[in-house]
């Protein structure tokens, strides 16, 4: 627009000179290109306050999503906890994180775990958990019964160190829906209406997690799902 205005001004001036001196021979053509700066040299127009471009909105949206992200994944929210020292031989976790939310699904309490555990949890949530009770009544929160704890398996004296003691396990005892209702493993497993859906959730954990234990595994797990990322020679162990 600036270049067009300059060119119009130059033509107008040239016409005025010709009108005043009709008999005079036209002079050498004036080069006006120098008067019009190139687009590259024009200063950028200032952005109007309160008005955001599409690119700006995308940039700030991306920054907002990255804020609070851990494990190099914008869908896993929490804080870095660093290395956790164990109070028993075999306990402890390296580069642990305290996770509060995964893929928009909140945890009932901030859970201490490794990034491997957090990523397995994300895969499980996306695979079946979020929409297990309907797409119009999604799961919005997981009730965490246990996470990192330096202890033996099932707290039995002399037993091997639990995967909880390595930050590689989490226990989930319930699922809160958008409606506000909470389906617990203990009660939901007994009811026909919810048992089938809970079984789908339990089954979907096999793969993302190496060990999956539920109410039918033993008396220690009748009220929660135990999920850990330990790997077994014969594949995932799901009971």
Report, as an integer, the average pLDDT of 169-183: 98
pLDDT digits (tens, 9 = 90+) for 102-135: 999 999 999 999 999 999 999 999 999 999 999 9
| Closest to 120 (Cα-Cα) out of 212, 200, 45, 47 | 212
CA–CA dist 189, 61 (Å, integer): 40
Q: For 14, what's the count of Cα atoms within 13 Å in the CB-facing half-sphere?
A: 13
**CA–CA distances in Å: residue 187 to residues 4, 183, 222:** 77, 7, 10
Contact status, residue 140 vs residue 116, Cβ threshold 8 Å: no
Report, as an integer, the average pLDDT of 136-153: 97
Report, as an integer, the average pLDDT of 5-13: 44
Tell me: pLDDT of 31 over 50.
no
Identify the three-state secondary structure at position 82. strand
pLDDT digits (tens, 9 = 90+) for 180-227: 999 999 999 999 999 999 999 999 999 999 999 999 999 999 999 999
Q: What's the sign of the alpha-carbon dihedral 119, 199, 227, 237?
A: negative
Report, as an integer, the average pLDDT of 27-37: 45
More confident residue, 170 or 235: 170
Tell me: pLDDT of 40 over 60.
no
Place of tokens 């402890």: 92
CA–CA dist 181, 200 (Å, integer): 19
Q: What share of the chain is helix, strand, coil (3-state, %, to 5)?
A: 35, 30, 40
Report, as an integer, the average pLDDT of 6-14: 43
- The domain limits of the chain are 2-41, 54-238
- Burial per residue of 171-185, b for 16 or more beta-carbon CB atoms within 10 angstroms, e otherwise: bbbbbbbeeeebbbb
pLDDT tier at 67, thresholds 50, 70, 90: confident
């Amino acid at each position: 627009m600036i270049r067009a205005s300059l060119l119009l001004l130059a033509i107008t001036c040239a016409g005025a000179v010709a009108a005043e001196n009709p008999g005079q021979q036209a002079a050498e053509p004036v080069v006006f290109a120098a008067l019009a700066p190139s687009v590259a040299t024009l200063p950028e127009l200032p952005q109007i306050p309160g008005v955001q471009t599409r690119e700006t909105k995308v940039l700030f949206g991306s920054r907002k999503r990255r804020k609070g992200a851990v494990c190099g994944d914008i869908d896993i929210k929490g804080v870095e906890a660093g290395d956790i020292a164990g109070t028993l031989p075999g306990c402890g976790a390296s580069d642990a994180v305290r996770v509060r939310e995964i893929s928009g699904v909140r945890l009932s309490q901030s859970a201490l775990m490794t990034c491997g555990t957090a990523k397995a949890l994300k895969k499980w949530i996306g695979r079946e958990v979020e929409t297990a009770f309907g797409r119009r009544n999604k799961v919005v929160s997981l009730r965490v019964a246990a996470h990192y704890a330096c202890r033996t398996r099932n707290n039995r004296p002399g037993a091997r160190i639990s995967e909880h003691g390595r930050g590689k396990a989490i226990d989930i005892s319930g699922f809160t829906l958008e409606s506000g209702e909470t389906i617990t493993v203990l009660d939901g497993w007994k009811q026909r209406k919810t048992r089938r859906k809970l079984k789908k959730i339990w089954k979907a954990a096999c793969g993302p997690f190496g060990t999956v234990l539920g109410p039918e595994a033993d008396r220690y797990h009748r009220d929660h799902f135990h999920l850990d990322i330990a790997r077994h020679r014969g594949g995932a162990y799901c009971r």
